[in-house]
Amino acid sequence: MQVDSRLPTPLLKVSGLTRYYGARIGCAEVGFELWPGEVLAVVGESGSGKSTLLKLLSTRLAADAGTIEYALLGRGLTELSRLSEAERRWLLRTDWGFVEQNPRDGLRMDGSAGANVGERLMATGARHYGEIRATAQDWLARVELDPARIDEAPTRFSGGMQQRLQIARNLVTKPRLMLMDEPTAGLDVSVQARLLDLLRELVTRYGLAAVIVTHDLAVARLLAHRLLVMQGGRVVETGLTDQVLDDPQHPYTQLLVSSVLHL
């Protein structure tokens, strides 16, 4: 996969990001840059701070210290904490996407498939019903869902189909940044493989930048250009995916890699 690093600034710049839960470290001193079109996987065992980091990035959780800067269109790198509540909400609904591990948390289960996709499109100003419906149908097809099922509720879809619907709902606004929390966990292995292929294809086709949290190194190997290895809330190793997985430097990464048979 090719990464466009010609732009003078990264899309996302994170520095010293820290969050404690009482005396316990959620994550500490996390820093990285993400360039347009780049996929970064955050890996580590349970409790290593991956979810905390993702919640901080999506501003669902407030940081105790550190900064998150994003290259806003027309404004350049801007600290998220400087945005008004309305600007932040707009950003999350349009230029950013968030794929939840459990699609039920990222979909409106009482709305139709079409409404789930159309809703985010309306956040960008789309008002024409026919056009919204046509775009929603087009996106269902792009994630390999039958467009004829546009009026069905997601409750009638399988887990893998719900996850694809959640992805369509996010991508319809053409976001530049996707945050994904274990997007393939909890699915059958064959469904997982197909979804991974699809994600890889979409990320490449739309030049998406993404931060993907996963405990599965095979997912990281397939999707990510770079890895951030976390242990006890801190980054212990970072580098190009193949380099880190083929020649891990930190003992913790070596342990992670050696505990997986086939990568």
Which residues are near ligand ATP by CB under 6 A?
Answer: 21, 24, 26, 44, 46-52, 215, 233
CB of 225 to ligand ATP, least distance (A): 21
Q: Where are the beta strands (DSSP E) in the chain?
A: 12-21, 24-34, 39-43, 65-72, 76-79, 96-99, 177-181, 209-213, 226-231, 234-240
For the beta sheet containing 209-213, the strands, ordered from the edge strand earlier in sequence to the opposite edge, are 96-99, 177-181, 209-213, 39-43, 226-231, 234-240
What is the smallest separation between the CB atom of 180 and ligand ATP, expressed in angstroms? 13
Q: How far is the CB of 231 from ligand ATP (least distance, A)?
A: 9
User: Least Å distance between CB 108 and ligand ATP?
Assistant: 24
- Shortest distance, position 66 Cβ to ligand ATP, whole Å: 15
C-alpha dihedral sign at 225, 180, 140, 125: negative
Nearest to ligand ATP of 49, 248 (CB atom): 49
Output 24 or 128, the one with its CB closest to ligand ATP.
Answer: 24
Q: What is the largest CA-CA distance in the chain?
A: 57
Q: How far is the CB of 60 from ligand ATP (least distance, A)?
A: 12
β-bridge pairing 209-213 and 177-181? parallel
- Taking CB atoms, the residue at the shortest distance from ligand ATP is 51
Contacts 24+ apart (CB under 8 A), 18-24: 18/63, 18/64, 18/65, 18/66, 19/52, 19/56, 19/61, 19/62, 19/63, 19/64, 20/64
Nearer to ligand ATP, 26 or 37 (CB): 26
Nearer CB in complex with ligand ATP: 44/118? 44
Q: Which is nearer to ligand ATP, 115 or 187 (CB)?
A: 187
Nearer to ligand ATP, 49 or 114 (CB): 49
